[in-house]
A and B are shown apart, each in its own frame.
Chain A
Amino acid sequence: MTQLTHLDRLEAESIHILREVAASMQNPVMMYSIGKDSSVLLHLARKAFYPGPIPFPLLHVDTTWKFREMIAFRDALKDDPDIDLLVHINQEGVEQGVGPFTHGSAVHTDIMKTQALKQALTEHKFDAAIGGARRDEEKSRAKERIFSFRSAQHRWDPKNQRPELWSLYNTRIKPGESVRVFPISNWTELDIWQYIYQENIEIVPLYFAAERPVVERDGIMVMVDDDRLPLEPGETPQMKKVRFRTLGCYPLTGAVESEASSITEIIEEMLRTTTSEREGRAIDKDAPASMEMKKQEGYF
């Protein structure tokens, strides 16, 4: 008899969740961040509705500061007839010239990501936004439901979450309210990489080590992806063999020196490393509960 592996069970659970969203929500959307978790989520969505097309659009909230290779990877999806890709940019933020260097990472993330996301959800009247967050990423995420309720103001109330029993998800909301849905909640980082390996899923090349121009700031290696990065006096970009463990806005994402140029080498490197995945992200460092606060305000 067929024996299911750990990954088979995680995959089946995620597909069940994706089908529940499609069947019970009026106007769902899948958040597409271009990262490896998004690649896995997209693959799961294709599987869930095969041989039919994915019955909801993808939405990328573009902060205008993503790596160029990420944008190229994203734009390649536009040729896929089964995928309806939407891109949203906070135009007010662009007009005000908001960016991580001029306004700092906190303001930039709030305006170009959190506010932009809320704008897009409100504008398209999406009642469900599917995201690739995992419970092993961060402590407040470990306590979030798979179907996570949001008020009409897109706020999360961690102390008043709907109990989630068995695999029954309460999908009922009032007009204006919405849910964020996290189909890969129970996956770990290692599960994601193993699945990418097993299913041969395409990911952005930035995850693989290559010679890239970087400068080192506050102990974080920042890639000089375009000429918007203001170089400090005496600072010159160095070519180093680096890769990225997570992807976001390039000035806020730290590179790690690496020789890993294949999925198996990445996994091998990951197993040997002693720091957690989010360490390269500036966003979590401010205060112990910073992710929880951002989530309450509507950040994914």
Chain B
Amino acid sequence: MTASARAPRGRSRLDGARVAALIAVAAVLAPALAVVARAAVAGEAWSRLDPGRVGRLLTNTLLLAGMAGVIALAVGLAGAWATSRHRFRGRRLAIALLLSPLGVPPYLVAQYWIEISGPTGPLQSVLGGVFFGKLWAAAAVIGLCTSPLCFGVLRAALGRLDRRYEEAAATLGAGPGTRLVQVVLPLLRPALAAGFALVALYACSDFGAVSALGVQTFTREIFFELELNFDRGAARSATAVLSLVLLGVAAPFFALDRWGRGAARFGGGRPVDAKALSIGGQVAVWAGVAVVVVPTSGLVVVRTLSLMEPGRGRLWGKAFEALGTTLLWATTAATIAVVVALLIAWVARRRQMGALVPLGSVGFVLPGPVVALGALLLVTASAWSRAHLYGTAAVLIAAWVVRALPEALQALDAGLEQVPESFEEAARTLGRTPVRAVGAVTLPLLSRSLAAGWVFVFAAAMRELPAAMLLKPLGSRTLSHELWAYAQDSMYADMAPAALLLLLATAPATTLILLRAGRDS
């Protein structure tokens, strides 16, 4: 019998899946590779690099990432501990509120911090513009807005933590404090690392919050260089060099995140029973919730509504036009991202190509302006693409897919982990082709993960700012761009309609995410 005759009938088609997944990953990596390649050949640009400026950007970016990470971890850990170890009236509401900052873009939060403390703001006399140009303010905005990421990761980890480790420590004489420090925190190390890394990566890639608050970081500088020299190819070398330095800064956080996710989970047994919370404890919990919600989601919702002025038909018209455009592009991006993520995650799990998932997650270390730079380098590389792709929405949608693919991959990889391969094998032995086996068995079981991945990418695309500003076709604007333009001119009342539409458009997605998180409590 020859080898080819021995191979099962479907093997060649599955190899097709493998090839398709490799092509998809190559496409996702392409912008990053284009940036690296351009930086590698930009010898002269390296020599023109100003060490003082790079040092300043490095300090700011690392300080911002570190401070935001610490804030988010502290808030997330306290919230996770309070809500998973205790019972009290309104616990589900507290959980939803602690997750609610996910629903508001950090740049909107930052704009409102500037607005309320600024010359025309209601708190001008108290705050007097204290936030502008302050690194700690940017760290606070980003830390609070991303604290739900830490909260979610740590809540899940606490829920999986077998109660017997703490019980064993107790029977060996360890009091509550010792148990927390010597048993719980060490066992949560992977989750703490993953949460910190997620926040640090976000801080490295943030454009809007640092720009609104006037803090110089790599991402912000890369954006402005690109915007200034948008049509000058030569200037892109210098930007590529700066981008490469930023990739180097973000890469360790990416590795930390991978380690945290991969590290063994010490679960399996029952988690610690939730205890009734004393009145004093409840007061403390709700005070903590207020600290998270009031300056973020609470501020955004209240201020957007209170800035609204009657009439302004023309403003609303423009805002609705931008909404239509953004909805079309964001749904396209979300759909493409989910299909690509399914392909990559499936091949990674079923065809033992696990490295495809981290490779496909390169978007984690690619801030919007860097993806935009990579996309521009690729599109302007050939005459054909310059004529047919340059300046089209396709480039922006592709950039969004690359940027948000990690979220979709994560959802589908976790979903596939729960679907044993034997299900598909059973379908095969009952006469289904490989593709139909996946369609008949795996896809229905993955419906929740598919929905979650889609919603994540959709929400991320709807609010994405820097790539949208750099890559949008001439004459159209995304909703985020629309509101940003007014905010930059301190026309906050004019910004309100676009801000409201953005919040409403992403509200169903946010609600779905909150419901998912609330269900497992």
A binds B: no
